[in-house]
Structure 1
Amino acid sequence: MTRIELLDKAAENGTRFKDIDINPTFGAAYFYSIDAGNELINFAEVIWDYDIDPILENCKRLGISEFTISSTFSSLITTIAELQKKGCTLDGLTEINSRYDDWKTGKKERIPAFKMSIAE
């Protein structure tokens, strides 16, 4: 995954996400993806309604045009529908790394995720 200097420096300095205009859900997804070794930013936790616009703004500001969602929260279909209303496209299912190791193989566990694209 391409590193985002703004977030990496904030982590080094102990800067809060809100102080650099980064949505906390977006920030958590970025660091999840770094830990897991994924190519795309992955949202593994709940995306609340109020997170959608700031997440999309952060993606556009930081040049991110694709992301994945591996979270299995109960209102995920509603969130994906809202993302589509905001110009995102559901590109289907893909497989990504979890941040956890598979105890059988010692490698990152592979999990399913929805792949999304952001309209420019």
Structure 2
Amino acid sequence: MAKNNFAEEYARELECRRQFNEARETGNAEMEEAARAAHQLLADQIKAKGSIYEMVFRFYCEAQERGNKYLDLNEVIWDDKVTALIDSLREYGIEKFTFSSTWSSAVETAWLFTQNGCRLEGIVEINGKCKAFMSEEYEKAHGYLFSIGDAEEK
């Protein structure tokens, strides 16, 4: 199993944001630029791990920010990317994810997940992309909950 560094990289992301915000508040342009540079370095390091890792890291960050238990695949996942994505999730030790894409072909993508060893466990409520009007709470959304089986289960 490949080691994923999602938690450590997310912590670095939060630290870059904290430093940037502190620099903005204090008017420290040098510190602001250092925070930008640190963030760019992190982004470059993540990008160097490949487009699938980069996408999964983004899903990880979104899950953390919204308070979701699982990564939520909430966008179009192109058919030709499904196998690599599921293989990567499996390799990184991700055991479950939600899929809340509302694109017209989402059910076909869900079918491809099952063809790549995932098991549909049901429909769950998650925190969506947007915050409710005049609130700090995320609007609720619904998604399919999938578990990821072993590679042999494909």
TM over 0.5: yes
What is the CA distance between 1:28 and its match in structure 2? Answer: 2.9
Aligned position for 1:117: 147
For 2:46 and 2:126, locate their aligned partners in 1 and report how far apart those are by CA, in whole Å: 25
Residues 1:64 and 2:94 aligned together: yes
Which of the residues 78, 81, 103 maps onto 2:111? 81
Aligned with 2:122: secondary structure? strand
Q: Is the 8 A contact 1:29 1:43 kept in 2?
A: yes
- Using structure 1 for the length normalisation, give the TM-score: 0.83
Question: Structure 1 vs Structure 2: percent identity of aligned residues?
Answer: 25
Which of the residues 103, 106, 114 maps onto 2:136? 106
The code of the aligned residue for 2:124 comes to T
For 2:57 and 2:44, locate their aligned partners in 1 and report how far apart those are by CA, in whole Å: 12
Aligned position for 1:47: 77
Q: Which blocks of at least 5 consecutive residues in structure 1 are unaligned?
A: none
For 2:60 and 2:108, locate their aligned partners in 1 and report how far apart those are by CA, in whole Å: 22
What is the CA distance between 1:54 and its match in structure 2? Answer: 1.9
The code of the aligned residue for 1:27 comes to F
Which of the residues 89, 93, 98 maps onto 2:123? 93
Instruction: Return structure 1 stretches of 4+ with deviation > 6 angstroms.
Output: none
- Using structure 2 for the length normalisation, give the TM-score: 0.66
Q: 1:27 to 1:66 in 2, by over 3 A?
A: same
Q: Which blocks of at least 5 consecutive residues in structure 2 are unaligned?
A: 14-38
Q: Which has the higher contact order (CA 8 A, sep 6+)?
A: 1
Q: How many residues align?
A: 118
**Residues 54-63 or 22-31, more deviating:** 22-31
Q: Is the 8 A contact 1:37 1:97 kept in 2?
A: yes
For 1:106 and 1:14, locate their aligned partners in 2 and report how far apart those are by CA, in whole Å: 27
Higher strand share: 1
Higher helix share: 2
For 2:99 and 2:76, locate their aligned partners in 1 and report how far apart those are by CA, in whole Å: 9
